[in-house]
Structure 1
Amino acid sequence: WKLDGAMTSRLRTLVGLRDREVLGKAVRKAQRPKKRQRISKRKAPQKVTLPRFVRPSTLARSLNTKMSDLVKSCAATFSWWPNIPFKTLRKNGYQDVKTVVLSYEEACEICQLYECEPEQFEIDLRTGDGHQPLLNKRPCVVSILGHVDHGKTTLMDSLRGGRIAPFEAGGITQDTYCFTINLNDLRITFLDTPGHRVFARMRDNAAFLSDLVLLVVDVHEGIKPQTSESIEFATEHGIPILPLITKVDDGCTDDVVMQEAIQRLDKALRDDVKHMTNKFPRYPDTYLTNMNSIPISAKSGFNMDELRAALVQTLDGLNPIADENARPYGGVIEAMREDGGRGEVITVVLLKGTLKIGDYFACGTCHGRVKHMQTSDRTQVSLVTPGIPVQIMGARGLPEPGDDFMVFDETITKLIAEERQAEQAYPLQERFVADEPERYDDVVFGALQSEAQQFGPYNEDAAEKNQDETVNEDNFFEEEWDDTAELGSRENPHLVIIKADKQGTLQPLVDVCTEPFVDEETGKSVHVRVLDHSLGAVTKRDVMLADASGASIQCFRIKAPSKQIKALLKQLKVKTNFFDVYYDFLHGIVKIK
């Protein structure tokens, strides 16, 4: 068919309209203002304060840069940096490199790339220029140290007028008790410590926080290992010692034999202290008080009035003064996790400053904010002055007994906690060496590289993170476990999971399991390996770990598990032992079947 003239002109018009429309869109697009390219407004500060050990995420925030840029800078600077593809890092949210810890010197190298001048962070407990000191006499802190079953808790009951010793499980002390009394208008805080050898950390911590040490010695048993150890703790920290010879019955001082025994024991104590003076010569004149040993009987009350008079005389001479307007500083006595809504609870005694509700604090590797405080007699308080032990709620984590307690603002407390956590993790990380593949043959390395591309990179840091913290990495692979060997031998040790009520009792139980026990019935050595340890009641995670590894759960002074956990324990047939006395705990581990 043919097109006439009218149809041809019509088609030309339509084509022209289409061309003009397309041309108009092009013109309008060309005339449209171009979008500005996004330029990063982030600029590193001229100066930055860095801790001694820092993680990459903290360093990125300090330098005001992205985590991706910091990772690229670290990968180009350090040969040991994990060789992980950048896409994998972004997909995992940089979790593979967040476990890396940089030292201050390594962080300074990164700061030079950002033209930033680093400055090392130091904890400064000093107050500002406008500080007005408020010096007041604080309560003296007196610790009661000595060997096990020498009468320390009975002495405490006699001083405070209470009855704790008759109701203690097993008749021994397993905690650090804190209480405050008044003697002749003199307020004194006492710390009663356990005497067993495994609780040496509690005695050392109490001696460090004390102004005076009451050294308790049984007149019939004399100087024992923990007696000498207590003398060593006191002399190491430069704390005066007031020796007490206990279990001297009323009227026995008239006996010539008893008088000679007391004199011999007093001379032996002084010789032991002088021997320690040569070991710690920093405080040569502060080890012993100027008075002789005081023979007492806390049970019958013999010579207790003389002891109170000697305490008042000695503490008046010490006259401890504290600045209540200074920055609060003290030490941690105990830490535990309580159920029922209280959470983490730490017991603290201040050496200076005033602690208030709402203050931010750092202690050990944790930090927090004071939400609630109560004294040893369960009295709620809103502020605490030095020398008074107090329980604090609001900590994020649990410190170790003996850690220092400091109050700063929220930013500094977090920085202190992160620095100490990074310091503990720094020696445990595995640094990758860039030239390590050269040890392999090229063919073998090529096969390994192709396998890595197929299955993804191996994250060694994450694998080590999943390992239990109690495993000793140095000799873990050297020890060969033989399932066919006798259970409890070195080749096939008992596997246990330890649960405890307080931080002060948990770590000693873990430490004592590193040495083999001796079964009293057979005389054989029983080896035990701790898979995991934590505070609080038995959880589902503990049960599943015990079932998978064949371990038993050893519970020290914790409450019974819930109904669901009991049913799970019965279903999986996981052995769980509950103990309230340290001796029973050891016997239970030895007799694991």
Structure 2
Amino acid sequence: ITQHIGAYQVNHKDKDITFIDTPGHEAFTAMRARGAQITDVAILVVAADDGVKPQTIEALDHAKAAKVPIIVAVNKVDKPEAKPEKVRQELSQYDLSPEEWGGETIFVDVSAKKNQNIDNLLETILLVAEVQELKAVPKGNAYGTVIESKIDKGRGPVATVLIKHGTLKISDNFVAGMTNGKVRALFDDQGERIKEATPAQPVEILGFNSAPKAGDVFRIVKSEKEAREVSEKRALKQRLIEQKQKAHLTLEDLHKQIADGKIKELNLVVKADVQGSIEALKDSLAKVDQEEVRLKVIHSGVGAVVETDIMLAAASNAIVIGFNVRPDAKSRALAEKENVDVRTYKVIYQIIEDISAARKGMLAPRIEEEIQGEAEVLQTFKAPKVGVIAGSKVNNGLINRNSSIRVIRDGVVIQETNIASLRRFKNDVNEVKEGYECGIGLENFQDIKEGDIFEAYIEVEKPRE
């Protein structure tokens, strides 16, 4: 399941086409809606073997609401069970009638896996753009939309912005939502450093004072002073709005409803790998029936679960939810001390399923992880047969040869795998204890970097209490 919006460019016949890849999972309504609002043409990708699904219709509704031309790409037509004609039949019921049937919608049969008919799809996009008379305006101050943001260890707040108009340059002062800054560096969709970004170009920007929100409008201002003033005014306005919203339910009223058994609250502290994931999770939580139990996100943020999150949860009697992020060793120890329930997930619907089941008292036995230890990668080198070896130091607990391994980078889980080799000096060993150094090779994972954390764990089935 694709988890984030990504943006990248493809050159076809000396013309650049920028793609914004919106996730297909229904939980990512907010992200997909934002994607449709910043595009000129929508490509609805439907699998020829699966046909039209609920998320297909949801994506179609967003494209229609954005009032952009729609091209249907029927994928996986190389499969024996593919039924592209059935896809056309199903979509015609939603006012997407194929041109070959006398309608106005262009359908292109493709196979991404076999690179079949992709050139035809790109040609179709350029044709639709030409009919729409879409033109880039590189002159003037740049403005665009924040597609994604994150906190990068060593680089600080980083955001991907799609430039809509004008040209963005190094040292430009800018405002994005309630954040501001000055462009320190620009990187294109291939990660290459560039000096300027032009219309329809996705660009990664360094220089934010804090991480903006996905969907924020990004624009250039004259000076650092103006950038600060605009973002401060916006922040003040947002605080006033939040205070008004809190005033809707008084403490007296809340106490009465709890006393009468009409309302109970489940407080949540939510941490995730990127801002888009937080919005998607909040959107999914809002759809849960809250008549008996009110779900309240008291804090959300990007990055690993840290000690301040645990203290807030302890003070508020809240559960901590981590999506694609983990608590570090200190946070885990504090959570145990304060009896704070910290739950980590990789897929949003599992969070919703757990909460829904807990409300009904029907939680199934769960697989719990027992963390055995952590090792930090100090350096990497290559070895014959095994590949990349991580020269590591065990900072706590122990690393066992049979443990499962979670690779954590900047608080975000990037891989789960097993140990291929574990050595001290030149000897194979079964385990390495805290304080000792060792060489660790992983199965099917070579992209190991200095500073990565290897979290060793085993899974144990435990009954619900």
Q: Shared topology, TM-score over 0.5? A: yes
TM-score by length of 1: 0.54
Q: Give me the whole-angstrom Cα distance separating, in 2, the residues matched to 1:420 and 1:178.
A: 27
1:414 aligned partner = 228
Deviation, structure 1 residue 583: 2.4
Per the alignment, residue 425 of structure 1 pairs with: 239
1:31-180 equivalent positions in 2, closer than 5 A: 172-180=1-9
Q: Match of 1:510?
A: 282
Q: Provide Cα deviations, 1:385-419, integer angstroms capped at 9, x if missing partner.
A: 22111111221233222221110122322232133
Q: Secondary structure at the match of 1:423?
A: helix
Question: Residue in 2 aligned with 1:583?
Answer: 349
Q: CA deviation at 1:527?
A: 5.0
CA-CA distance at 1:507 after TM superposition: 2.2
CA distance change for structure 1 residues 398 and 490 in 2, over 3 Å: closer, same or farther?
farther
- Determine whether 1:309 maps to 2:127: no
Measure, in 1, the Cα distance between the counterparts of 2:265 and 2:132. Answer: 52
Partner of 2:38: 209
CA distance in 2, matches of 1:415, 1:394: 17
Structure 2: which amino acid aligns with 1:553?
V
Alignment of 1:170-209 (within 5 A): 172-209=1-38
Q: Distance in 2 between matches of 1:535 and 1:363?
A: 17
- For 2:148 and 2:103, the matched residues in 1 are separated by 29
- Which whole-Å CA distance do the structure 1 matches of 2:276 and 2:122 have between them? 30
Q: Check the 8 A contact 1:515/1:527 in 2, yes or no.
A: no
The structure that is helix-richer by fraction is 1
Q: Secondary structure at the match of 2:236?
A: helix
For residues 446-476 of structure 1, give each alpha carbon's deviation from its aligned partner in whole angstroms, at most 9, with x where no partner exists.
Answer: xxxxxxxxxxxxxxxxxxxxxxxxx843235
What SS does structure 1 have at the residue aligned with 2:74?
Answer: strand
Q: In structure 1, how many angstroms separate the alpha carbons of the residues matched to 2:326 and 2:119?
A: 41
Counterparts of 1:384-403 in structure 2, within 5 Å, are 384-403=197-216
Which protein is bigger by CA-based radius of gyration? Answer: 1
CA drift of 1:429 comes to: 5.4
Structure 2 residues not aligned, in runs of 5+: 359-464
Unmatched tracts of structure 1, length 5 or more: 1-171, 274-287, 431-470, 519-523
Any conservation in 1 of the 2:314–2:340 contact (CA below 8 Å)? Answer: yes
Instruction: Summarize the Cα distance change of 1:539–1:490 in structure 2 as closer, same or farther, 3 Å threshold.
Output: farther
Aligned length, in residue pairs: 354
Question: Normalized against structure 2, the TM-score is what?
Answer: 0.67
Match of 1:265? Answer: 90
Structure number with the bigger relative contact order (C-alpha 8 A, sep ≥ 6) is: 1
Q: How much has 1:247 moved relative to structure 2?
A: 3.4
SS of match in other structure, 1:321: coil
Q: How does 1:432-447 map to 2 (within 5 A)?
A: none
How far apart, in 1, do the equivalents of 2:293 and 2:356 lie? 6
**Residue deviations 1:168-195, cap 9 Å, x none?**
xxxx111001111212222111111112
Answer whether contact 1:547 1:572 (CA < 8 A) is retained: yes
1:567 corresponds in structure 2 to 333
Change (3 A) 1:217 1:479: farther
Corresponding residue for 2:381? none
State the alpha-carbon separation in 1 of the partners of residues 279 and 197 from structure 2: 29
Could you tell me which residue of structure 2 aligns to residue 125 of structure 1?
A: none
Q: Is 1:536 the equivalent of 2:350?
A: no
Report deviation, 1:546.
1.6
Does the CA-based 8 Å contact 2:263-2:293 persist in structure 1?
no
How far the C-alpha of 1:581 sits from its partner, in A, is 1.7
1:499 matched to 2:271? The reply is yes
Give the Cα separation in 2 of the matches to 1:300 and 1:476.
60
* Matches of 1:411 and 1:473, distance apart in 2: 33
Residue deviations 1:65-100 (CA, integer Å, cap 9, x gap) = xxxxxxxxxxxxxxxxxxxxxxxxxxxxxxxxxxxx
CA deviation after TM superposition for structure 1 residue 260, in Å:
4.9
- Overall identity of the aligned pairs, in %: 29
How far off is 1:261 after superposition?
A: 2.1
* Corresponding residue for residue 409 of structure 2: none
Q: SS of 1:391's equivalent?
A: strand
1:511 and 1:291, CA in 2 relative to 1: closer, same or farther beyond 3 A? closer
Letter in 2 for 1:544: M
Task: Quote how far apart the aligned CAs of 1:220 are.
Answer: 5.1
**What residue number does 2:106 align with?**
292
Q: CA deviation at 1:526?
A: 6.2
For residues 394 and 259 of structure 1, the distance between their equivalents in structure 2, rounded to whole angstroms, comes to 47
* 1:311 Cα deviation from its structure 2 partner: 2.7
- Counterpart position of 2:322: 555
Q: Are 1:362 and 2:134 an aligned pair?
A: no
Cα 1:546–1:271, aligned 2, differ >3 Å: closer, same or farther?
A: same
CA positional deviation for 1:232 = 3.2
Q: Are the equivalent residues in 2 in contact too, given 1:376–1:389 (CA < 8 A)? A: yes
What is the distance in 2 between the residues matched to 1:572 and 1:428?
29
Contact 1:537 1:558 in 2 (8 A): yes
Runs of 4+ in 1 over 6 A off after TM superposition: 481-485
1:420 shift after superposition: 2.0
Counterpart secondary structure, 1:323: coil
Give the partner amino acid of 2:92. K
Q: Is the 8 A contact 1:371 1:392 kept in 2?
A: yes
Aligned to 1:334: 148
> What is the alpha-carbon distance in structure 2 between the residues aligned to residue 572 and residue 204 of structure 1?
39
SS at match of 1:545: helix
Corresponding position of 2:136: 322
Is the CA contact (8 Å cut-off) linking 2:270 and 2:299 kept in structure 1? yes
SS of 2:193's equivalent in the other structure is coil
Structure 2 CA distance for partners of 1:268 and 1:262, relative to 1, 3 Å:
same
Letter in 1 for 2:108: I
Change (3 A) 1:545 1:352: same
Tell me the C-alpha RMSD between the 2 structures.
3.2
3-state DSSP class of the match of 2:322?
strand
